[in-house]
Amino acid sequence: MVRVLGPVDVLGACRPFVRAWTLDLVAYLAMHPGGVPADVWSAALWPDRPVADATRHSTVSAARRALGTDADGRDHLPRSNGRLALGPGVTSDWARFSELALVTGVAAPKAWESALALVRGRPFDGLRAPDWPVLEGVQAAIEDAVVQVALRLAQRRLAEGDGWAAERAARRALAVCPYDERLYRMVMRAADHQGNPAGVERAMAELSSLLGVGSTWIGRRALPQTPSELTSWVHPDTAAVYRALSRRGGARVVATTTSW
């Protein structure tokens, strides 16, 4: 399994990927299961310079040796004179995530939890050539999918009365999209559901710190200076949720919105 939902690595490989660019090549091929011509994947790995055929061939050979063979002795990276593609015995955590994200019905929440459990951090972390996931839209697609699954699961868990599970789902997605305010709004709602007003303040403090908003320190926790200050820095929906749930500055206003 090629894992890209966090630091890139390969589970079940025959040997370590010690040669430069071999892990990048395998990650690129894992995101293009239909195969790609040599000029396409080489341009993705070396976008700023042309490379000799010998360099491409040696990179492929080293990746083939590292991946090894399947139970029938077939190379996980088959030899090809045209499009280069991984063999059927190689999958990815992204492919598995996509399958689990499509599950519906009563089994959906457990499947979505399993999908989020695959997320370990920022996608494609550690690549030597980090531009192609962004330029090809792969990173954006993964980030959006993770956020959508996390919000669906969190909303379901909130409806079931489980604020802890809702917060876990939202925070797992924050490891992928730390600037997505929908996730912070969900964390605030989940903390409120737990009867944890400090959790509401902590979520807003984390967001304000991320955005560089001036903060007032209380003990070891940084809090936004005033609720009115937030309207200039965060999304209006985020400010509205915070004002509805926060117990700072007087009486609390009960939230009526259920939007993310």
Convert the pLDDT of each residue in 52-97 to its tens digit. 999 999 999 999 999 999 999 999 999 987 899 999 999 999 999 9
34-43: pLDDT as tens digits = 999 999 999 9
209 CB-near residues (< 8 Å, 6+ apart): 215, 222
189-211: pLDDT as tens digits = 999 999 999 999 999 989 988 88
DSSP string covering 159-182: HTT-HHHHHHHHHHHHTT-TT-HH
d(CA 260, CA 258): 7
Per domain, the residue ranges of the chain are: 2-67, 179-260
d(CA 85, CA 111): 29
pLDDT of res. 225: 56
Q: Is the dihedral of CA 89, 94, 97, 103 positive or negative?
A: negative
d(CA 156, CA 127): 35
Which stretches within the chain are classed as H helix? 22-30, 38-45, 53-67, 93-101, 108-117, 132-135, 138-159, 163-174, 181-193, 197-211, 227-230, 236-245
pTM: 0.87
